[in-house]
Amino acid sequence: MAADQLALGLIWYVAFLLSLTAHEGAHAWAALRLGDPTAYQGGQVTLNPWPHVRRSPFGTVLVPLLSFAFQGWMIGWASAPYDPVWAERHPRKEALMAAAGPAANLLLVALAGVGLRAGLAADVFALPTGRLSLDGLVVPAASWASGLAPLVSILFSLNLILFVFNLFPLPPLDGSAVYPALISEDAARRFKRLLAAQPALSLLGLVVAWRLFGPVFQPVLRAAVGVLYAGLG
């Protein structure tokens, strides 16, 4: 692997860890505020990636690095512990806790978008002239910004991916806990018991979500980039 590809991989990994840590830290913080201290006691209410890496080393180290080596972008996972008894008793609080992770990713999308527009306005970044990529929404216009341009681009696109993917209403994704808040608490509890009794549904949910993700995400990405570039030509 060439030196520039290694440097890009490092930038991807920094953005990946920040995005995943914000997602899981938001879950843990929301659970604590809503009455479940399980993740807090496990050290998960933090933006320090180490507690999340230690809990899920396969999903936070090996899979991201392999996915970058073979695909050119990173994917992976982590998890924040919670009390299933608390979730059973308070399905609406569980829904808020589940929604906190995607909400953190959406906030990072917005912050990265502001950073991209500010960099373009300050002539630190420039619009790309070729085909867009997840790590090339802008290009550096100043030599010192050669690492910053891909970092902010990745933060925008990767967090948009995490936001959309996790809101699919399929187990084990966050959406499977968010959407039951729209039905009665008794119906939500029955739904959760069904998922607990059929663990294979989680694997099936991931397969279905992965197959559906591309057609769903592409128009979302085009719309988001359209907003990002609005008025810039």
Quote the mean pLDDT of the chain.
Answer: 92
- Report if residue 141 sits inside a domain: yes
pLDDT band at 233 (very low <50, low <70, confident <90, very high): low
For position 225, what pLDDT does the model report?
A: 95
- Report if residue 71 sits inside a domain: yes
Are 60 and 74 in contact by the 8 Å Cβ rule? The answer is no
- Report if residue 233 sits inside a domain: no
- Report if residue 157 sits inside a domain: yes
What is the per-residue pLDDT across 18-74, written as a single tens digit (0 to 9) for each? Answer: 999 999 999 999 999 999 999 999 999 999 999 999 999 999 999 999 999 999 999
- Report if residue 112 sits inside a domain: yes
Q: Of all residues in the chain, what percent carry a pLDDT higher than 90?
A: 75
pLDDT band at 1 (very low <50, low <70, confident <90, very high): low
Domains: count for the chain: 1
What is the per-residue pLDDT across 153-178, written as a single tens digit (0 to 9) for each? Answer: 999 999 999 999 999 988 889 998 88
Instruction: Enter the pTM of the model.
Output: 0.93
**What residue numbers bound the domain in which 78 lies?**
3-228
- Report if residue 132 sits inside a domain: yes
Alpha-carbon dihedral of residues 205, 15, 83, 54, nearest 10 degrees?
Answer: 110
Of the listed ranges 81-90, 106-115, 198-207, the least confidently predicted one is 198-207
